[in-house]
Structure 1
Amino acid sequence: MTYQPVVPLSGFAGWTFLQRTRESQQEAFENSQLIQRNTTYFEENIGEIKTAEALVDDRRLLEVALGAFGLDEDINNKFFIQKILEDGTLDPDSLGNRLSDKRYFAMAEAFGFGDFPIPNTELSDFPQEITSLYKERQFEVAVGNADTNMRLALSLDRELDTLLEESTTDDGRWFLVMGQPPVRQVFETALGLPSSFGSLDIDLQLTGFRDAASQRFGDAEVSQFADPEKREELIRLFLVRSEIAAGTASITGASAALTLLQNANIGGGLFG
């Protein structure tokens, strides 16, 4: 059995509850049978894996490896994952470097199959590093089973810490935001950017993100979200606007249903 996190409320009220109970809920989740079984297997066996091919051929190891980077849905894309891992990250033309979704780059960099003669799987602290990421990500997945928006808020909180540690330019941080679909979705929603925004030229998207952030927060840089108050405001905006959008969709659906019923009644009157 796997512990299912409790999220009794939606929106920012649900986020406040989750933050207050997160430590105890995450501990219960990590102690559940499935998580313990998966992490124990990974830690006991990953040290024997020398190649990307060997990793993708062991489904149980691959499940933890992908789960640690939020790529659970790629479990059946063995050849694709093997190619990413074998290419590594040092070559600018490697697949991980060319993909816009930088979660693949992060996974290839972590395992090091294509970058070093001896992969990182042989390092003594590697198993625990990956299982720690896995447990955190899987808790987010479990929360998402109750509330998708709450999962996105949790992932933003984690990813921003990693992103802000990157040694890059101000524009580079925005490109990192744009290259991580869950983080991008939170920013787009919180900043009120339209769903068609992602189809624009990448430089226009950069300008759009900067302008929207400056207008809403008085600062155009991603680095401002190192401030806990600004980060909390970003998450609050995301959750509130997501609820509004869901409410609008619900109202629209109800209106359509009412129209159909009214038309049916009119039809009955004309032809009954």
Structure 2
Amino acid sequence: MSFAPIIPSSGLNGWQFLQRTLDKQAASHASTAVARRDEAYFRENIGKISSAEELVKDRRLLQITLSAFGMSDDLPNRAFIQRVLESPTREPEPGEKRSFVHRLADKRYLELAKAFGFGDRAAERAQSLSDPALPGAGREELATRLAASMQRDLTALVGSGIGEDATWALIFGTPSLRTMFETAYDLPKDFESQALGEQIKVLRSQTEKIFGSGNASQFAEPDALNALAKRYIGGFADDLLTNYHARRFEEAVGQQDNSMRLALALQRDLAQLAGSDQSESGKWYRILGTPSMRQVFETAFQLPSSFASLDLDRQVDILRSRAERAFGAGDIAQFADPAKLNKLIRQFFVGEQLSEIRSVSSQSAALTLLQSAQASMAAFRQR
């Protein structure tokens, strides 16, 4: 039996009701038979995927994955999604040609490519397939492939003789390794905000708790590597399925009221963006490149349809100016404050109501003019 979210009214009143009942309604939606079956299928099969091609060929896995990133409409576009997944996500050097995914305005595709890392690990994966001495040789599960990739990197670091502290520091400086450890471990919420030295202490402490030793050198051994890789797959599945359930609930809400869906998406996406280490200009570009956030800001600030045709830098200038006028500052970081985020959402709903009033007024004026013209024509014919 499916679960339909309860939204008694539109606008701010409906939004306030949804906020009061959100946790309970979202939990009920995630506990439906369909959601449970999807979760079980993903957990059972995601570790068997070893390439972007395999992922896009499994329609059910792809549907769950795309839904988790708010891109379920892209399910038919398999060739495009495969190209996204196979695209390197490393930031290009000055003068270097940008990869395919970096050329896309919608940055959700970049997040999708980063999450799987197929493009980033392409060279390593090719090496593991050609070298039978590595544990990733042959058509193995993703966890084994990841272990093979990590073995090369970690073996080089451990064998360099630079010491444990420096080895952990270099692990943090290698995006694929850092992501592996962060996903595999249950880290505290304030982990990202801590200084590098404190982050390393946390990782070493978690490593000792799980593996009995806090030394990175142990991961030169295949057994420890495979255990870490499997923990990564489990953590990866947890994170993606959490997003999947949240996005699917938003989709269900959107079937009844799309404005509510946009507001829910904004709560998550803008709060994350506000706390990120991107530059302020980069954050505004991210908003302009994310359809749901862009629509909320354009509606909240009552921007005309011609706004989208302006130069991107000019669009950013206008958004920052409107934000400063409405909230006292022109930066995105301010929306880490729940009060300001809620104020933006309220302004969005008010903006929608104003647009509806204008639309009705315009239609009424047009109808009045039409009726007047018809009356004049009828009077003319009677002469």
Q: TM-score, normalised by structure 1?
A: 0.92
Other structure's SS at 2:263 match? helix
User: What's 1:225 paired with?
Assistant: 335
**Does residue 1:5 correspond to 2:10, yes or no?**
no
User: What's 2:120 paired with?
Assistant: 115
**TM-aligned CA deviation for residue 215 of structure 1:** 1.2
Which of these residues, 110, 113, 117, is aligned with residue 105 of structure 1? 110
Cα RMSD, aligned residues only: 2.0
Question: What amino acid sits opposite 2:102 in the alignment?
Answer: N
The 2-side partners of 1:200 and 1:263 are apart by: 38
The 2-side partners of 1:44 and 1:247 are apart by: 51
Aligned 8 A contact 2:68 2:244 in 1? yes
Question: What amino acid sits opposite 1:138 in the alignment?
Answer: R
Aligned 8 A contact 1:85 1:107 in 2? yes
The 1-side partners of 2:14 and 2:364 are apart by: 25
**TM-aligned CA deviation for residue 192 of structure 1:** 2.5
**TM-aligned CA deviation for residue 227 of structure 1:** 1.2
User: What's 1:78 paired with?
Assistant: 78
What pairs up with 1:107-256 in 2 under 5 angstroms? 107-116=112-121, 117=125, 118=145, 123-256=233-366
CA gap 1:262/1:38 in 2 versus in 1, 3 angstroms = farther
Question: What amino acid sits opposite 2:100 in the alignment?
Answer: L
Deviation string for 1:191-216 (max 9, x for gaps)?
Answer: 22222212211111111111111111
Aligned 8 A contact 2:274 2:334 in 1? no
User: What's 2:31 paired with?
Assistant: 31
CA gap 1:38/1:269 in 2 versus in 1, 3 angstroms = farther
Question: What amino acid sits opposite 1:151 in the alignment?
Answer: R
CA gap 1:209/1:91 in 2 versus in 1, 3 angstroms = closer
Q: TM-score, normalised by structure 2?
A: 0.67
Deviation string for 1:216-251 (max 9, x for gaps)?
Answer: 111111111111111111000001111110232133
The 1-side partners of 2:256 and 2:380 are apart by: 46
User: What's 2:194 paired with?
Assistant: none
User: What's 2:101 paired with?
Assistant: 96
Other structure's SS at 1:113 match? coil
**TM-aligned CA deviation for residue 164 of structure 1:** 2.1
The 1-side partners of 2:91 and 2:264 are apart by: 32
Deviation string for 1:142-193 (max 9, x for gaps)?
Answer: 1111111111110000001221232122222212222211111111211222
The 2-side partners of 1:52 and 1:83 are apart by: 8
Aligned residues: 272
Unaligned runs of 5+ in 1: none
User: What's 1:20 paired with?
Assistant: 20
- The structure with more radius of gyration: 2
**TM-aligned CA deviation for residue 108 of structure 1:** 0.6
Aligned 8 A contact 1:2 1:35 in 2? no
Percent identity over the alignment? 42
**TM-aligned CA deviation for residue 112 of structure 1:** 1.1
The 1-side partners of 2:301 and 2:332 are apart by: 13
The 1-side partners of 2:87 and 2:371 are apart by: 58
Moved more, 194-203 or 54-63: 194-203
CA gap 1:264/1:41 in 2 versus in 1, 3 angstroms = farther
**TM-aligned CA deviation for residue 268 of structure 1:** 5.9
**TM-aligned CA deviation for residue 48 of structure 1:** 0.5
The 2-side partners of 1:87 and 1:14 are apart by: 41
The 1-side partners of 2:350 and 2:236 are apart by: 39
Aligned 8 A contact 1:210 1:221 in 2? yes
Aligned 8 A contact 2:301 2:351 in 1? no
Question: What amino acid sits opposite 1:100 in the alignment?
Answer: A
Unaligned runs of 5+ in 2: 93-97, 126-144, 147-179, 181-228
The 1-side partners of 2:308 and 2:298 are apart by: 9
Aligned 8 A contact 1:84 1:94 in 2? no
